[in-house]
Amino acid sequence: MSELSNEQLLDIDYYLRLTRTLEERLVALFRQAKVIGGLYRSLGQEGESVAAAYALDYKQGDVVQPLIRNIGAILVAGAKPADIIKQYMAKGDGPTRGRELNIHFGHPARDGFIGQISMLGDMIPVMAGIALAGRMQKRKLVTLAFIGDGGSSTGAFWEGMNFASVQKLPMVVIVENNGYAYSTPTSKQTAARTLADKSYAFGCAGVTIDGNDVLGVYDTTKRAIENARSGGGVTLIEVMTFRMKGHAEHDNQAYVPKELIAEWAEKDAVVRFENLLVERGVATREQLDAIQQRVKKEVDDATDEADRSPMPDPAHAGKGLFIEDGYWG
Amino acid sequence: MSELSNEQLLDIDYYLRLTRTLEERLVALFRQAKVIGGLYRSLGQEGESVAAAYALDYKQGDVVQPLIRNIGAILVAGAKPADIIKQYMAKGDGPTRGRELNIHFGHPARDGFIGQISMLGDMIPVMAGIALAGRMQKRKLVTLAFIGDGGSSTGAFWEGMNFASVQKLPMVVIVENNGYAYSTPTSKQTAARTLADKSYAFGCAGVTIDGNDVLGVYDTTKRAIENARSGGGVTLIEVMTFRMKGHAEHDNQAYVPKELIAEWAEKDAVVRFENLLVERGVATREQLDAIQQRVKKEVDDATDEADRSPMPDPAHAGKGLFIEDGYWG
Amino acid sequence: MPETTYIDAITQAMSEEMARDERVFLIGEDVGAYGGAFKTSYGLLDKFGAERVIDTPISEIAIIGAASGAALMGMRPIAEMQFLDFITCGYDILVNFAAMNSYLFGRACPIVVRGPAGGGTHGGPYHSINPEAMFLNRPGLKIVAPGTAYDAKGLLKAAIRDDNPVLYIEHKYLYRRIKENLPDDDYIVPIGKANVRRRGKDLTIITWGAMLYVADDAADELAKDNVSTEIIDLRSIVPFDEDAILESVAKTNRVIILHEAPLTGGAGAEFAARIAEKAFDYLDAPIKRIAALDVPTPYSPPLEAAALPDKTRVLQAARELLAY
Amino acid sequence: MPETTYIDAITQAMSEEMARDERVFLIGEDVGAYGGAFKTSYGLLDKFGAERVIDTPISEIAIIGAASGAALMGMRPIAEMQFLDFITCGYDILVNFAAMNSYLFGRACPIVVRGPAGGGTHGGPYHSINPEAMFLNRPGLKIVAPGTAYDAKGLLKAAIRDDNPVLYIEHKYLYRRIKENLPDDDYIVPIGKANVRRRGKDLTIITWGAMLYVADDAADELAKDNVSTEIIDLRSIVPFDEDAILESVAKTNRVIILHEAPLTGGAGAEFAARIAEKAFDYLDAPIKRIAALDVPTPYSPPLEAAALPDKTRVLQAARELLAY
Ligand SMILES: Cc1ncc(C[n+]2csc(CCOP(=O)(O)OP(=O)(O)O)c2C)c(N)n1
Ligand SMILES: Cc1ncc(C[n+]2csc(CCOP(=O)(O)OP(=O)(O)O)c2C)c(N)n1
Ligand SMILES: [Mg+2]
Ligand SMILES: [Mg+2]
């Protein structure tokens, strides 16, 4: 069962549970109007998000770049739940001190992850640049970028992928084909047979896999990462998954056929992974419940911490535009 | 020999000769400092440029969009040599009245062609929009766009191709793989196996052909056009050819291996096409010479006309920013 | 007739123009089945079909570029940016292709690019843009920014009927916050004409968009001190109504320019510069600009409130000018 | 030491900085083997190798984006636009990613984006841009525009060493037209400091870039009538030297702002607005701006000459101000 130790498998389960529980907590906070702005769920996609990010080696300096639904990925990279909640609650001592929202934060050289900006696609050239710097600095780091079916239509995505492929940069890109971009089905996003087929345009490796198969995603990503690390260049991995909720909490996804939701509900990656753990004797249900208990406690603590955090000081609104002004220390 | 009549074959030869002769005239005018700004030769590429454009049906409303090296294409579409020379000489009664340069002119609904703007790639979405309008207007028109190996790296190209492919628009795109983008060889432009492989990313048809085979280019383009006209969607045709001169007259192409130039000189499309005409008895050398005489006369006349043309009136510099001001009539 | 919200005014304008003129169509992300992220195009797909309400890939270059190509062919596309912040992704093709058709080529390119703009809704730095100034030094694009439901409808109709590319800036803060009685008849608001929203003699506030209401509040407050404030709602940024500005300044001799975009390089600079050249003799006091701080709009409400202009800052400026 | 042209000053700055600091690298189209469309990077590939002089595909988004990513990792990329006109293609990632790193995320993103700008060379509408104003209302990007060889070198070094993204605007008209004796020593010109190019007491001309020479000519002409003109070479547009502007205006009481970009929404509007607010009491006459017509730069020499500002127009404005 993969090359993963039992300990690692349980670690993955921990992140899956943490992701789901944290997001559920955010929903509760959203309903209490404590979360300001939109809330974007990754329900149904936690598997690929966690598994892919788990395949990186953060000690080597690897860097992951999440989309809005990749809370799982940055948790794996080391983001603190309290920081995420603070971001959502627009608190003054969160990572961006209330300037940016949700999981748009992180420093590639310091944190092992870098949040996206809203303009979809822009992070692909940026991640190429991070990989380029790593190579120039003679470090063996690999970058892992997430992009959506929708985001993969942007010019920025194309230019970044093309540049990375020409340069044979150590970069792996996960295209999350979750069926929709907001209300737009993938069929209106592209006429390509698969999103992995875009790899032909770049001359990089490309593959389509089951996104709800945690171990499959881990293995494929891991191979792609090690290939990249050893100079093999870019891989584009299309993971087939599904966005189980609307685009954001305000969206009731009326445009999604009910049967499709029901069909994918059966394929939940977390349930599937845990069933496997139990079947293969990696863990008992009790052990898994214990993980859930631990996770709940962590999320409770994080919520408390975020709740107690101050809002930003309005007097700071004008500071820090240029880095030398010292606002960020 | 294709479906072309002898008359049409000679017509194609006329355009090939006209293109080459007109460009040679522009070189002479450039050396006399009468051409202002850069001069970009299509030497070596006239074949594909003329042949592809010849496959359109301008009476149907078809529209071709040239790059800077596609003088041949717009001549086929009906551009007047005098207009082209006036543009190069920045004359006041040229198509843009001295405001824009070289073959950046034309109106898709009026002229059957629309010149590019300098920003490479931008015309691809524009040509998609022209095709879209044609379909909305229930016309059976097809658009034909040229793009370079270099231009096909731009985000605009990608977005336009993707949109056109999703919409199955009646559009044919010729990627001129002429070995270089300015000084950059195609190998630094893309890692794709072929530029036609980009079609996989769009889910459109794609093919790579010999760009110096006039009839082959005609036939392939014609089929793609008729396929597009009957609702079959987009085709990307990579034509393999070579830029026999530097990027522009000022560029001595020191970065191009001499052998490569010598090799491609052997493959000149015009020579090859005319040999074929003679071999197959379509024309005698004398007939071809007569065409050349006719062409020379036309270019002489056009030069005279352009020479006599006035420079623009500086008092007009501020006019016509908005269309309703009446400057353009 | 029931009162019409600002957002409904926009929907009505599109719907009526699409009914009136079959060349008009809508193109953008999620504008069809979903009816747009803010439901601005809700119902249009049912009325006009998928041929005229086109859902696109996430491709702002393609949206603006395809709209422009169609416009050259005589169509009248409305290109929606899901948020106007994303217009930056299509910036090039808008300023270099669409906006240049008339001057360089004598071609009419009647596109409207529209979408939600503006702050005050905790949208953060990527969902709060006031985009006008990015385009002000790139000639060829008209720019309008309605602040009332009446103008939202009338200016959108004017923009659709205009033969040039027009950037139509809708303020999302106003979408459902303001309501007005609109005429039943077809009407347009001409591009380039300001509206004197309130007549006064002591002080002029030149503004547009959601800042109208900040100006109103400030003027109400000043009225308590017997200060009579003239409010010029510019409505059009390109071309702008220079005469209206200069006339008002000639009358009041004191002027505040108020806008929601950051101060430096904001459109207000242009208006101030025109006044400083052309109404110099009428000025009894410095020209004041009240605008956002020179930062991206921060997300957290206390920061956002501090960054954006408000009544307090307008009042302070007004009092300085009046005491001058 | 032989005189150094403006373009050689740029090449020297890059070469010296690359030698000094191995984190500095150059990325762009045709910057390697060809040495750049204007030969600005000629010789750098030989000196520093293909790892540090990177030829890219035609992909401005990728160039600016990859430079930004590398900068976050501690590198100091110089991203070349073959012409600054094409910066519009990477506009989004520059204003929304690069420029926002500090304010939003506290990250240093030390990139320099540079390339040829400006008109007067019959480059036409797509090869003549003066790009500064497009960025002026998008906070987070520093902008410099040298008009002398000395400043070209010193400001580029300062830009490379700066911890923020800097847009470095080189005027291609000056590349080989001006020459100066440069110091042998390493020096920088601090970003944000204007240079009083000529001291005077009757009139101030605020300008930058190639317009310096138009200002010089006008001032020479005015000197014949015993008018003493002060010329402020702004050099930096963001941040700009407000003190230098205000001091000069306080002294001369008359001011012309001269720039090559179109008038409306040009950077000059901002300087005019600042003066109209902060030096109002010192003004004895209206603030005049001399700038290009509000059109894309036309190609044909007579049109281009008519569109761009020249000495005649400056002199006319000066005489009006002096007679005021
Ligand atoms: C360039 C750009 N255009 C538009 C948007 C608005 N937008 C935000 S999310 C979204 C849909 C994204 O779909 P996808 O990339 O498939 O990611 P998913 O939401 O499915 O995870 C859109 C259109 C954006 N963020 N960026
Ligand atoms: C977006 C953009 N970036 C840069 C340029 C500058 N430029 C003009 S032509 C050229 C090379 C074009 O190469 P290619 O597309 O292969 O066409 P070819 O010249 O070979 O016909 C470049 C880089 C441009 N015109 N547009
Ligand atoms: Mg999706
Ligand atoms: Mg080429």
Q: What is the mean pLDDT of residues C134-154?
A: 98
Looking at the fold, whether C143 and C207 belong to one and the same domain comes out as no
CB pairs under 8 A between B and D: 116
* Within a domain: D273: yes
> How far apart (Å, rounded) are the C-alpha atoms in residues D47 and D128?
31
The CA-to-CA distance between both ends of chain A, in Å, stands at 46
Residue D43's CB: how many other CB atoms inside 10 A? 13
Looking at the fold, whether C151 and C213 belong to one and the same domain comes out as no
Domain C-terminal end among C180, C207, C234: C180
Inform me whether the C-beta atom of residue C140 falls under 8 Å from chain D C-beta atoms: yes
Ligand nearest to the CA of A183: 1
Query: Which CATH number do you get for residue C56?
Result: 3.40.50.970
Ligand 2 binding pocket mutation candidate from D34, D38, D55, D58 (most atoms within 8 A of CB):
D58
Given a contact cutoff of 8 angstroms between Cβ atoms, the answer to whether D249 and D275 are in contact is: yes
Dihedral over Cα of B249, B251, B252, B256: its sign: negative
What local confidence, expressed as pLDDT, does residue C2 receive? 78
How many domains does chain C divide into? Answer: 2
DSSP annotation of A48: H
What local confidence, expressed as pLDDT, does residue C1 receive? 59
Residue A173 pairs in a beta bridge with A145, A236
Looking at the fold, whether D119 and D252 belong to one and the same domain comes out as no
Tell me the shortest Cα–Cα distance from D252 to chain B, in angstroms: 32
- Among C8, C287, A64, C88, residue whose Cα is nearest residue D287: C287
Per the prediction, chain B carries an average pLDDT of 97
Q: Residue A1: is its pLDDT beyond 60?
A: no
Taking contacts as CB-CB distances below 8 angstroms, the residues of chain A near D54 are 167
User: What are the tens digits of pLDDT across the range C5-29?
Assistant: 999 999 999 999 999 999 999 999 9
Phi, psi of C98 (to 5 degrees): -55, -50
What local confidence, expressed as pLDDT, does residue B1 receive? 52
Environment class of D193 (CB within 10 Å of its CB; exposed 0-12, middle 13-18, buried 19+)? middle
Q: What range defines the domain where residue D244 resides? A: 195-322
Looking at the fold, whether D199 and D176 belong to one and the same domain comes out as no
Ligand 1 binding pocket mutation candidate from A71, A182, A186, A241 (most atoms within 8 A of CB):
A182
The H or E element spanning position A9 is: helix A6-31
DSSP annotation of D36: -
Taking contacts as CB-CB distances below 8 angstroms, the residues of chain A near B189 are 166
Looking at the fold, whether C129 and C154 belong to one and the same domain comes out as yes
* Within a domain: C186: no
What local confidence, expressed as pLDDT, does residue D2 receive? 78
Please tell me if the CB atom of residue A67 comes closer than 6 angstroms to any atom of ligand 1: yes
pLDDT band at C86 (very low <50, low <70, confident <90, very high): very high
User: What are the tens digits of pLDDT across the range B70-95?
Assistant: 999 999 999 999 999 999 999 999 99
Looking at the fold, whether C285 and C154 belong to one and the same domain comes out as no
CATH of region B6-301, choose from 3.40.50.970, 3.40.50.2020, 3.60.110.10, 1.20.140.10: 3.40.50.970
Quote the Cα angle for D79-D80-D85, to 5°: 120
Q: What's the 3-state SS for C49-89?
A: CCCCEEECCCCHHHHHHHHHHHHHCCCEEEEECCCHHHHHH
Amino acid residing at A210: D
Looking at the fold, whether C232 and C176 belong to one and the same domain comes out as no
Tell me the shortest Cα–Cα distance from B9 to chain C, in angstroms: 32
One DSSP character per residue, C147-175 reads -SHHHHHHHHHHHHH-SS-EEEEEEGGGT
User: If you measure from the C-alpha of residue A119 to the centroid of ligand 1, how many angstroms do you get, rounded to a whole number?
Assistant: 8
Given a contact cutoff of 8 angstroms between Cβ atoms, the answer to whether C181 and C167 are in contact is: no
Q: What is the mean pLDDT of residues A233-261?
A: 96
Are B191 and A202 within 8 A, CB to CB?
Answer: yes
* Within a domain: C185: no
Q: Which percentage of chain A shows pLDDT scores above 90? A: 98
pLDDT band at B109 (very low <50, low <70, confident <90, very high): very high
Looking at the fold, whether D117 and D209 belong to one and the same domain comes out as no
What local confidence, expressed as pLDDT, does residue B281 receive? 96
DSSP annotation of B113: B
Per the prediction, chain A carries an average pLDDT of 97
User: What are the tens digits of pLDDT across the range A170-203?
Assistant: 999 999 999 999 999 999 999 999 999 999 999 9
* Within a domain: C57: yes
Its pTM stands at: 0.99
Which of A156, A165, A198 comes nearest B155 by C-beta? A156
Ligand 2 binding pocket mutation candidate from D82, D128, D129 (most atoms within 8 A of CB):
D82
Taking contacts as CB-CB distances below 8 angstroms, the residues of chain C near B104 are 104
pLDDT band at C184 (very low <50, low <70, confident <90, very high): very high
What local confidence, expressed as pLDDT, does residue C252 receive? 98
For residue C89, the ligand 1 atom closest to its alpha carbon is 1
Looking at the fold, whether D162 and D25 belong to one and the same domain comes out as yes
User: What are the tens digits of pLDDT across the range A133-166?
Assistant: 999 999 999 999 999 999 999 999 999 999 999 9
Are A117 and C301 within 8 A, CB to CB?
Answer: no
What local confidence, expressed as pLDDT, does residue D13 receive? 98
Looking at the fold, whether C117 and C261 belong to one and the same domain comes out as no
Tokens for D12? Answer: 């020297």
> How far apart (Å, rounded) are the C-alpha atoms in residues B6 and C284?
82
Q: Residue A89: is its pLDDT beyond 60?
A: yes
What local confidence, expressed as pLDDT, does residue B3 receive? 87
Mean pLDDT by runs of 10 across the 324 residues of chain D is 92 98 98 97 98 98 99 98 98 98 98 98 97 98 98 98 98 98 97 98 98 98 98 98 98 98 98 98 98 98 98 98 96
Please tell me if the CB atom of residue A182 comes closer than 6 angstroms to any atom of ligand 1: yes
Q: What is the mean pLDDT of residues B211-234?
A: 98
User: What are the tens digits of pLDDT across the range C201-251?
Assistant: 999 999 999 999 999 999 999 999 999 999 999 999 999 999 999 999 999
User: If you measure from the C-alpha of residue B191 to the centroid of ligand 4, how many angstroms do you get, rounded to a whole number?
Assistant: 15
Question: Which residues have CB under 8 Å from D141's CB, separation 6+?
Answer: D94, D95, D98, D99, D135, D164, D165, D166, D167, D238
Looking at the fold, whether D43 and D103 belong to one and the same domain comes out as yes
Q: What is the mean pLDDT of residues B205-223?
A: 98
ipTM of the modeled complex: 0.98
Inform me whether the C-beta atom of residue C55 falls under 8 Å from chain A C-beta atoms: yes
Are B91 and D300 within 8 A, CB to CB?
Answer: yes
Alpha-helical (H) ranges within chain B are: 6-31, 46-54, 71-77, 81-88, 123-136, 155-166, 186-189, 198-202, 214-229, 258-265, 269-279, 285-308
Residue B63 pairs in a beta bridge with B143
Write the CA distances from B144 to B49, B204, B229, B290, B295, integer angstroms: 11, 15, 11, 31, 26
Tell me the shortest Cα–Cα distance from C24 to chain B, in angstroms: 11
Amino acid residing at C143: I
User: What are the tens digits of pLDDT across the range C153-164?
Assistant: 999 999 999 999
Given a contact cutoff of 8 angstroms between Cβ atoms, the answer to whether D248 and D196 are in contact is: yes
Are B122 and C92 within 8 A, CB to CB?
Answer: yes
What local confidence, expressed as pLDDT, does residue A3 receive? 87
Give the chains touching C; criterion: ≥3 Cβ pairs < 8 Å: A, B, D
Looking at the fold, whether C235 and C114 belong to one and the same domain comes out as no
The H or E element spanning position D198 is: strand D195-198
Taking contacts as CB-CB distances below 8 angstroms, the residues of chain B near D125 are 99-100
* Within a domain: C190: no
One DSSP character per residue, A226-267 reads HHHHTT---EEEEEE----S-SSTT---TTS-HHHHHHHHTT
